[in-house]
Amino acid sequence: MIIAVFVAFFLFIGLGFDYFYLNFNPMGATQLGMNADGYYQARAPGAGASIPFGTIIALLVGLGMSMNSLINGPGMVLRSTMARRAVSSNEKEHQFLNIVAEMSTASGLPAPAAYVVPDSDLNAFATGTKPENSVIAVTEGLLGTLNREELQAVVAHEMSHIGNRDMLVSTVVVILVGVIQLLADFFLRSLRWRGGDNDRNGVHPIFLLIGIALAILAPIAGMLIQLAVSRKREYLADASGVLLTRYPDGLASALGKLAQDHTPMRQANHATAHLWLDDPYQGKKKTIGWFANLFMTHPPIEERIKALKETRV
C-alpha cells in the first residue's frame, strides 16, 4: 500500500512539472474547426504541450534507477562498507560462519554469504534483493564482543530481514523517494530562470505557489514514510528472529551491549543507515522524543529491548 501511494505521489509530482513547466493542457491543446469540406481538428495556438513529456521521462529514469539498484545494489552496499568475506581460519569468523549455516537451516532459507566489516563499532546488516543473493555482514567489534547466543540472535534478526524480503522493500522505497526528490529539486531550479514567463504561459500564481509547496514537502514526506517503513520492519525482524532462536533474551542482551557501546562508526553513511541492526548515527543517543523519533531509521533501542523482554515464546 505504501509503495502504491509512493507511485501515485511520484506521478502527481511528474504531472505537476508538466503543467507548470511545459504548460501541459491536453484538453485545450486542440480546437475544432470547420471548412467547406467538413470538420477537422487544428492545433490551438499557444495551447502548450499535449504530451506529458516530463512524466514519461521521469518514469523511464525511475525504472532505470530501480533496475540498477536491484542488479547492483548489494555489491554497492558491500563496497561502501569495505566488507570482506568471513574466513574459517579465524576462530570468531569460523563461529560466525557456523551460526549463519545453523540459522539458514532453521529458517529454511538458502545460506547467505557471510561478510565482516572492518570496524570496531558493534553493528550488523543484511543486504540482497532475494534470498539467493543475500548477504549478512557483521562488524569486527561485534564479533569480538558478543557471546555465541548473542551473535546467534543477531544473525537470526538479519536472517529474518532476508526472509521477510525487507531488502527488496527498502530498495524500492529508497528509489521512489530519490526520484521524487530529484524531480522536486529540478522543478525548484527551473523557477530561477523561468522567471516572468509564468504569466505569459498562463500559469496562475496560486497554482505556482501550490507547486512550490509540493516540491518542498514531497522530499520531506517521502523521507518520513521511508523511515517509518524501516522502523516497522525492525520490530518485525526482532520478533521473527526470536521465533528462530526461541530465546528473546539473546537479542535483548545483544542490543543492550550495542546501547552501551559509543565507538564511532567509520564505515557507515546516511544512504545505508537504515540497513544496520541499529542506527549508526542516532540509535545509541538518548533523544527519544516524538519529534526526534520521526527522523530515526530505527526504533529507540530501549523500546526494542523492552518489547523483547516482554516476549513469551
Q: Once rounded to an integer, what is the mean pLDDT over residues 259-286?
A: 74
Given a contact cutoff of 8 angstroms between Cβ atoms, the answer to whether 253 and 152 are in contact is no
Given pLDDT bands bounded at 50, 70 and 90, which one contains residue 273?
confident
Given pLDDT bands bounded at 50, 70 and 90, which one contains residue 45?
very low
The answer to which of 50-59, 134-143, 189-198, 242-251 has the lowest mean pLDDT is: 189-198
Give residue 165's pLDDT. Answer: 84
- The answer, yes or no, to whether residue 32 has pLDDT greater than 50, is no
Given a contact cutoff of 8 angstroms between Cβ atoms, the answer to whether 258 and 284 are in contact is yes
- Give exposure, 89-119, as e/b (b: 16+ Cβ within 10 Å): eeebbebbbebbebbbeebebebbbbbbbeb
**Between residues 93 and 297, the one the model is more confident about:** 93
The highest-confidence range among 156-170, 172-186, 279-293, by mean pLDDT, is 156-170
Helix/strand/coil for 289: coil
Nearest CA to 240 out of 153, 169, 310 is that of 153
Q: Once rounded to an integer, what is the mean pLDDT over residues 193-217?
A: 56
C-alpha cell at 18: 508538466
Give residue 280's pLDDT. Answer: 81
Given pLDDT bands bounded at 50, 70 and 90, which one contains residue 228?
low
At 69-91, the pLDDT tens digits run 667 778 888 888 899 999 999 99
Instruction: List strand residue ranges (DSSP E) for 79-210, in order.
Output: 84-85, 113-117, 124-127, 135-139
Give residue 271's pLDDT. Answer: 64
Sheet holding 124-127, edge to edge: 84-85, 113-117, 135-139, 124-127
- The answer, yes or no, to whether residue 177 has pLDDT greater than 50, is yes
Q: Once rounded to an integer, what is the mean pLDDT over residues 213-238?
A: 71
Q: Is the pTM of this model over 0.75?
A: no
Q: Distance (Å, rounded) from C-alpha 150 to C-alpha 153?
A: 5
User: C-alpha 20: how far from its chain's center?
Assistant: 29
Paired sense of beta strands 135-139 and 113-117, if any: parallel
- The answer, yes or no, to whether residue 198 has pLDDT greater than 60, is no
Q: Once rounded to an integer, what is the mean pLDDT over residues 195-208?
A: 52
- The answer, yes or no, to whether residue 172 has pLDDT greater than 80, is no
Paired residues of 135 in beta bridges: 113, 127
**Between residues 168 and 184, the one the model is more confident about:** 168
Helix/strand/coil for 277: coil
Q: Once rounded to an integer, what is the mean pLDDT over residues 10-32?
A: 63
* pLDDT, mean over the chain: 76
Give residue 169's pLDDT. Answer: 72
Give residue 205's pLDDT. Answer: 63
Q: Distance (Å, rounded) from C-alpha 242 to C-alpha 250?
A: 9
Helix/strand/coil for 18: helix
- The answer, yes or no, to whether residue 58 has pLDDT greater than 90, is no
Task: Estimate the share of the chain in helix, then strand, then coil, as percent rounded to the nearest 5.
Answer: 65, 10, 25
Give residue 286's pLDDT. Answer: 46
**Between residues 40 and 126, the one the model is more confident about:** 126
158 is catalytic: yes
Q: Once rounded to an integer, what is the mean pLDDT over residues 163-188?
A: 67
**Between residues 170 and 291, the one the model is more confident about:** 170
- Give exposure, 135-154, as e/b (b: 16+ Cβ within 10 Å): bbbbbbbbbebbeebbbbbb
The ranges assigned to domains in the chain are 1-313
From 93, 150, 158, 234, the catalytic residue? 158
Residue 4: burial class (beta carbons within 10 Å; 0-12, 13-18, 19+): exposed
Give residue 80's pLDDT. Answer: 84
In 10 A of CB 162, how many CB atoms? 26
At 107-117, the pLDDT tens digits run 999 999 999 99
**Contacts by 194-200 with C-beta closer than 8 Å and gap 24+?**
194/21
